Amino acid sequence: MRVVVRILSCLLGLALAVAGGLAVLEIAWAWARPGDPALLIDWPRWRDELGSLPWNSTAMRVTAGVLAGVGLLLLLMAATARRKEVRLNDPAEGVSVTTSPRSLARIVGFQVRSADNVRAASVTASARKIRVRATTRLETEAQLQPRLMELVQETVDALPLVRRPKISVVVDSPRDRR
């Protein structure tokens, strides 16, 4: 989302500049040569159309709704363009360390996959939460889940994370279905 917001902001700036430039040109042109046709955009036609379009017409309502929707979308995009890195403690004065959520997931995934009886595992991580889904064929969920929970907790505790993420471990085992 960060890249999208950067490109969007670039385009919005350009749109603002173009709109301002066109307005200045048209107003100056109409001021200097009254009676002449408009320079670049046919604004007298827009003026006439808007002059006969009431506020409660469908066209106006749809336009207003779309505008409000686009505004809401822009706000949401700007709000979600946060940094998602995971902060580690500073090892020394003036040194800041982060790692990516993906790396945190890899560290945990590496440990979980090397645990006994784990057939496959998927891990998603953020600074706040780590979710582990593991599959096994040899143990039930009740047997494996506490062990994995402890393992993940140990792995996370060994990292110098600023914020302890919550951990959730789900085990999927065919033995539970019998």
Nearer to another protein, 71 or 174 (CB): 71
Under rule CB under 8 A, residue 28 binds another protein: yes
Under rule CB under 8 A, residue 15 binds another protein: yes
CB 65 to another protein: min, Å: 6
Under rule CB under 8 A, residue 79 binds another protein: yes
Element (H, E) at 130: strand 129-135
Chain positions 44 to 73 lying near another protein, rule: CB under 8 A, are 47, 50-57, 60-61, 63-73
DSSP letter assigned to residue 118? -
How far apart, in whole angstroms, are the C-alpha atoms of residue 53 and residue 36?
A: 25
Under rule CB under 8 A, residue 23 binds another protein: yes
Residue 74 buriedness (CB in 10 A; 0-12 / 13-18 / 19+): middle
Chain positions 132 to 151 lying near another protein, rule: CB under 8 A, are none
Stretch that binds another protein, among 17-25, 128-136, 138-146, 165-173 (CB under 8 A): 17-25
Nearest C-alpha neighbor of 119 from the set 87, 148, 158: 148
37 bridge partner residues: none
How far apart, in whole angstroms, are the C-alpha atoms of residue 1 and residue 82?
A: 8
Nearer to another protein, 70 or 138 (CB): 70
Chain positions 89 to 108 lying near another protein, rule: CB under 8 A, are 90-100, 102-103, 106-107
